[in-house]
Amino acid sequence: MPGLVDGVVLRPLEDSLPFTRREYDRRRTETLALAAQAGADTVISFGENRSGVAITYLTGWPVTRLAVHRLSATESRMWVQFHNHTPLARRIAVDTEVCDVDDGFLSELLADVSVVATLGSVPSRVATAAAERGVALKPIDAAHAQLRQIKSEEEAQALRLGAQASDIGARALIDACSPGASDWDLLAAARSAYSKAGARDHICYIGITDMADPDRDVPSQFPEGRVLRRGSVVTFELSAAVAPEYPGQILRTVTLGEPTEQYQHLHSVADRARAAVRAAISPGRPSSDLVDASHLIEEAGCTTTDDLFHGLGMGYLEPIGTSSSRVPMHRPSGNLASGMAIVVQPNVTSLDHRAGVQTGEMVLVTDTGCEDIHFLEPGIIVRRGGA
C-alpha cells in the first residue's frame, strides 16, 4: 500500500496494486458466499461512466465507461468498453482476464449459467439476453453493501491515506481563500495539492456567500463562478482518495473577516452537535443513538440540509442518519460495529435555509469508540486581514 510521508504520497512507480492479492481473495470468497445464498455460483457486476463500486471492489479497476465483471470460483473475467481502455485495465485488474466489449460478449457473459447473482444496475440488453436464454438474475446489492460496511485492516489503511490526502487538499483550499478568488480557484488549489501528492478526485463541493446577506446553506456540487470578498463565508466538503473508492472526507467553514453573530451561533451549534455525535459512537450501540445525540440542533432553533452522518468507503453506505427536523428525515436501524467508517458532518443551518455551516470528518469505529484519521483542526476558520 502506498504511504504518506511529510505530506507527500509515496506511490511505488512500478506497483499499481493498492491491496494485496489476499485481500482480493477475501472479497471474492465473501461475495461468492452471498451469491450461494441466492442460489448462484456466479456473480456478474456492472458499472458505467465512472460508477460501479462492485467492480472496483472485486478487481481494483476504477470504472471508466461500460465494464462488466464475471466471477466464479474458477474465473475472474472483465469486459471493458473502448479498446484504448483495455491496456490500463489489464495492468490494474487483479488476477482478471480483460476483454473488449464486442458483439459477442453477451454470449460469453451468460454462457453455462442458469442463475447468476448481480451487482449494480443491469443494462437492458443484458436483461433481455438473460430472459431469452432463461437465465435468472438475482440481485445481491443490499447484502453486498452490508458486507462492505465493515472494513478490513487493509481497507482501513486505504481510508487513512485518503484522509491525509483530503487534508492536504483542504489546507490548500483554505490557503487559497482570499478576496478576489473564485470557487474555481479554490477547486484548482485543492485538486492541485492532492494530485501532486499522488491522490485522485472523489468530490470537492464548495459554497460561497455573503455572511451579511446569505443565500445558500450547503456547498454546491459544481463551481458557479462566485468570487470571494471581505465578509464572504466559504463552506466545503472535500474527499480525495489514494486507492479508488477509499476517500477520506472533511468538511469545514472559512470566513473572510470575523464571523457574524449568525454564523458564530450556527457554528457553535455545529461544534456541539459534532462532539455529541462522536461521543455516541461505540460498537454495539444502536446507530439511531447518533440521531438522538443531535437534538440540540433543533433545541437551538436550527435545522440541517445535509445528512448528519453516513458510512463511506467503497460506496455511500449505512448507517445514514439525519437530524430530526431534516426533510426527508432518515433514522437508521441496526447497530454500530467495529470496522465501520463514518463521516460525522453536522451541517447546521438557519430555519429558512439561507445560511449554513459545514464541519466534520471521517472516523473509524473501533472496539472502544472511534479513531480520528483526519488531523486538520476542527472549528470555524477565520481569515483576517488581506488573506
Q: Return the CATH number at 36.
A: 3.40.350.10
Q: Are 233 and 187 in contact (CB under 8 A)?
A: no
- The answer to whether residue 187 is domain-embedded is yes
Residue 144 has pLDDT above 90, yes or no: yes
Residues 101 and 171 in one domain: no
pTM: 0.95
Residues 206 and 79 in one domain: no
Residues 232 and 361 in one domain: yes
Q: What is the dihedral of CA 271, 317, 196, 182, to 10 degrees?
A: -60
Give me the number of domains the chain comprises.
2
Residues 109 and 203 in one domain: no
- The answer to whether residue 280 is domain-embedded is yes
Distance, CA of 17 to CA of 180 (rounded, Å): 42
CB within 8 A of 303, min separation 6: which ones? 297, 323, 325, 326, 348, 349, 350, 351, 353
Residue 104 has pLDDT above 80, yes or no: yes
- The answer to whether residue 72 is domain-embedded is yes
Residues 101 and 163 in one domain: no
Last residue of some domain: 148, 174, 202?
Answer: 148
- The answer to whether residue 285 is domain-embedded is yes
Residue 14 has pLDDT above 50, yes or no: no
Strands (E), 245-290: 250-256
Give me the pLDDT at residue 387, please. 47
Residue 288 has pLDDT above 60, yes or no: yes
- The answer to whether residue 103 is domain-embedded is yes
- The answer to whether residue 13 is domain-embedded is no
Residues 165 and 304 in one domain: yes
- The answer to whether residue 4 is domain-embedded is no
Q: Look up the CATH number of the domain holding residue 372.
A: 3.90.230.10
Residues 268 and 357 in one domain: yes
Last residue of some domain: 120, 148, 176?
Answer: 148
Q: Which tens digit of pLDDT belongs to each residue from 214-248?
A: 999 999 999 999 999 999 999 999 999 999 999 99
Give me the pLDDT at residue 18, please. 79
- Domain span at residue 78 reads 21-148
Residues 250 and 109 in one domain: no
Count how many Cα atoms sit within 13 Å of the Cα of residue 24 in the half-sphere of its side chain: 20
Rounded average pLDDT over 101-115: 95
Residue 312 has pLDDT above 80, yes or no: yes
Rounded average pLDDT over 308-333: 97
Residues 341 and 359 in one domain: yes
Residues 118 and 159 in one domain: no
Give me the pLDDT at residue 267, please. 98
Count CB-CB contacts under 10 A for residue 180.
Answer: 8
Of 3 and 73, the one with more pLDDT = 73
End-to-end CA distance of the chain: 37
Query: What percentage of the chain has pLDDT greater than the value 70?
Result: 95
- The answer to whether residue 238 is domain-embedded is yes
Distance, CA of 113 to CA of 111 (rounded, Å): 6
Give me the pLDDT at residue 10, please. 43
Q: Which tens digit of pLDDT belongs to each residue from 335-351?
A: 999 999 999 999 999 99
Residue 209 has pLDDT above 50, yes or no: yes
Residue 13 has pLDDT above 50, yes or no: no
Q: Are strands 115-119 and 303-304 parallel, antiparallel or unpaired?
A: unpaired
Residues 219 and 253 in one domain: yes
Rounded average pLDDT over 285-292: 98
Q: Which tens digit of pLDDT belongs to each residue from 252-282?
A: 999 999 999 999 999 999 999 999 999 999 9
Residues 123 and 167 in one domain: no
Q: Are 248 and 239 in contact (CB under 8 A)?
A: yes
Last residue of some domain: 92, 119, 148?
Answer: 148
Rounded average pLDDT over 112-131: 97
Which three cell numbers, joined as nine digits, stand for 303?
435545522
Give me the pLDDT at residue 17, please. 56
